[in-house]
């Protein structure tokens, strides 16, 4: 039995959930998020309480039970308070700015790096801190990881792009005689 799957999810004010045969959608003050469900998982709505249950207990349905309950809880949280990831860009000459619907980076390459920002996400760049926010936790994390992959932090000087709460293990480097 899934401990996460057993928990009842209560919907806050101004939040609605719509369940059809294969999808469920959560609508709130900040937007709407939709997800397809697995045929073995069933979402039940009872007033302001939502439960996720397997249609029949198998090994696969037990594995998916808690996963879909977590997805649903994240969707409810996201439409009420946006998810946010912060990235820190460190290094001399490294810059980032948002121009319209794309980001332009100077990362020490011979050319500027351009990344288009998805429509459902909001990205801001102030000094050396980049903030990615949106209602879908998965999309926010995926885009932040895509940005981090442009210039990963290196262990000697710590140059590169890292998450704000990430700690880089530093190496000593060469010793001079």
For residues 157-162, give the mean pLDDT.
92
Given this structure, which CATH class describes domain 3-80?
alpha beta
The pLDDT, as a whole number, for residue 78 is 94
For residues 87-97, give the mean pLDDT.
94
Please determine, for residue 176, whether its predicted confidence score (pLDDT) is greater than 90: no
The pLDDT, as a whole number, for residue 159 is 93
Whole-structure pTM value: 0.89
pLDDT tens readout for residues 54-80: 999 899 998 899 999 999 999 999 999
| Axis-axis angle for helices 137-148, 59-80 (nearest 10) | 90
Instruction: Please check whether residue 120 is in contact with residue 83, taking contact to mean a CB–CB distance below 8 angstroms.
Output: no
For residues 90-97, give the mean pLDDT.
93
For residues 90-118, give the mean pLDDT.
94
β-pair type (41-46, 49-54): antiparallel
Specify the fold of 83-163.
Answer: Outer Surface Protein A; domain 3 (3.90.930)
pLDDT tens readout for residues 113-148: 999 999 999 999 998 999 999 999 999 999 999 999
pLDDT tens readout for residues 1-34: 678 888 999 999 999 999 988 899 999 999 999 9
Q: What angle do CA 120, 121, 124 make, to 5 degrees?
A: 150
Q: 3-80 and 83-163: same fold?
A: yes
Please determine, for residue 174, whether its predicted confidence score (pLDDT) is greater than 90: no
Distances (CA, A) of 71 to 43, 64, 97, 137: 12, 10, 32, 9
The pLDDT, as a whole number, for residue 1 is 61
> What DSSP string describes the chain?
--HHHHSPEEPPTT-EEEE-SSEEEEEETTEEEEEE--TTEEEEEETTEEEEEESS--HHHHHHHHHHHHHHHHHHHHHHS-EEEEEEEESTT-EEEEETTEEEEE-SSSS-EEEEPPTT-EEEEETTEEEEEES-HHHHHHHHHHHHTTSPPPTTT--EEEETT--PPPP--PPP-
The pLDDT, as a whole number, for residue 3 is 86
| Domain extents in the chain | 3-80, 83-163
């Amino acid at each position: 039995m899934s401990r996460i799957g057993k928990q009842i999810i209560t919907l806050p004010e101004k939040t609605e959930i719509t369940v059809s045969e294969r999808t469920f959608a959560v609508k709130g003050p900040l937007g709407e998020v939709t997800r397809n469900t697995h045929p073995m998982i069933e979402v039940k709505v009872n007033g302001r309480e939502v439960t996720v249950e397997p249609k029949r207990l198998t090994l696969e349905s037990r594995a998916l039970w808690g996963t879909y309950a977590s997805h649903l809880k994240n969707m409810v949280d996201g439409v009420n308070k946006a998810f946010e990831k912060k990235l820190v860009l460190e290094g001399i000459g490294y810059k980032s700015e948002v121009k319209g619907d794309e980001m332009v980076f100077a990362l020490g390459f011979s050319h500027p790096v351009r990344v288009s920002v998805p429509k459902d996400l909001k990205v801001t760049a102030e000094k050396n801190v980049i903030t990615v926010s949106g209602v879908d936790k998965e999309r926010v994390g995926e885009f932040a990881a895509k940005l981090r992959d442009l210039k990963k932090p290196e262990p000697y000087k710590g140059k590169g792009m890292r998450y704000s709460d990430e700690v880089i293990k530093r190496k000593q480097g060469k010793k001079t005689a």
